[in-house]
Amino acid sequence: MNLGEYTKGLSISVMLSGTDVYGTKCEQSVTAHDLSQQGARLDGIYQTLAPGSRVTLQYKGAIAAAQIVWVVVSGGDGVCQAGIRLVDPRKCPWKNAFADPDDMLRLPDRRKTERYKLSVGVQLSDEADGLAMQTSTVDVGIGGCYVETLFPQPVGARMKVLLWLGPAKLLANGVVRASCPGVGMGIEFLDLSWEDTERLYRFLEANRSQLG
């Protein structure tokens, strides 16, 4: 398997060491998802880390430095998720992880992420019939969005989601998770790449001042 690609659905447990936003030492075991040669998404962090700060990751004796790119609070308990980029991809600590499949966690990550109440232009295309509609989001996060529409698709429908992030665009695959005729529908993003997750997060944080 090429670790330059993302490994959706496979996760490992790694040791995280660093300093939180209050200057307190942070050292704990976390779960790493969406593994690649460049970085990963960490879940289960019980202290708040600052984007741009450096941390150390350890996995099976291999140690690597990484930079925190984005952080979101993923639940009411204050537990955080963070996107990290390895300082030196050649020292990727999990590059040999796939040689030991028994070490991998295969439970899907269902933890919800923060939603931003932002109106973002979006075009939705039904994968089954190709019909497209243009609308706007009621809220959006790195895990999905809720859009306004009088005629929502049924739960389970697969969609192509095109978001306008200012002058840029982001294309994602999605599936309808909630549908309310006359109101709208909730869409979960599927297989969003690490780079696109980072782009979306940076856009949302840059527009946080618009939150109601």
Q: What is the rounded CA–CA span in Å between residue 17 and residue 12?
A: 16
Name the pLDDT band for 178 (thresholds 50, 70, 90): confident
pLDDT, one tens digit per residue, over 11-22 is 888 999 999 988
User: Residue 4 pLDDT more than 50?
Assistant: no
Name the pLDDT band for 97 (thresholds 50, 70, 90): low
Name the pLDDT band for 166 (thresholds 50, 70, 90): confident
Q: How many CB atoms lie within 10 A of CB 174?
A: 22
Q: Report the pLDDT value the prediction gives residue 98, as an integer from 0 to 100.
A: 57
pLDDT > 70 in the chain, percent: 83
Name the pLDDT band for 120 (thresholds 50, 70, 90): very high
Tell me what the pLDDT averaged over the chain comes to: 82
Q: What is the DSSP string of the chain?
A: --TTS-BTT-BEEEEEEEE-TTS-EEEEEEEEESB-SSEEEEEEE-SPPPTT-EEEEEETTEEEEEEEEEEEE-STT--EEEEEEES-GGG-TTTTGGG-GGG-B-S--------B----EEEEEETTT--EEEEEEEEEETTEEEEE-SSPPPTT-EEEEEEEETTEEEEEEEEEEEEETTTEEEEEEES--HHHHHHHHHHHHHTGGG--
User: Residue 206 pLDDT more than 80?
Assistant: yes
Q: Report the pLDDT value the prediction gives residue 58, as an integer from 0 to 100.
A: 92
Q: pTM for the complete prediction?
A: 0.55
Q: What is the rounded CA–CA span in Å between residue 191 and residue 8?
A: 7
Write down the residue that tokens 């939705």 correspond to.
124
Select the more confidently predicted residue: 128 or 135: 135
Select the more confidently predicted residue: 4 or 138: 138
Q: Report the pLDDT value the prediction gives residue 197, as an integer from 0 to 100.
A: 85
Q: Which domains does the chain have, with CATH numbers?
A: 12-103 (2.40.10.220), 121-210 (2.40.10.220)
Q: Report the pLDDT value the prediction gives residue 65, as an integer from 0 to 100.
A: 95
User: Residue 32 pLDDT more than 80?
Assistant: yes
Q: What is the rounded CA–CA span in Å between residue 98 and residue 118?
A: 39
User: Residue 177 pLDDT more than 90?
Assistant: no
- In the 8-state DSSP scheme, what is residue 52? T
Q: Give yes or no for a contact between 31 and 43, defined as CB atoms under 8 angstroms apart.
A: yes
Out of 19-23, 60-64, 97-101, least confident range: 97-101
Residue range 159-188: mean pLDDT, rounded? 90
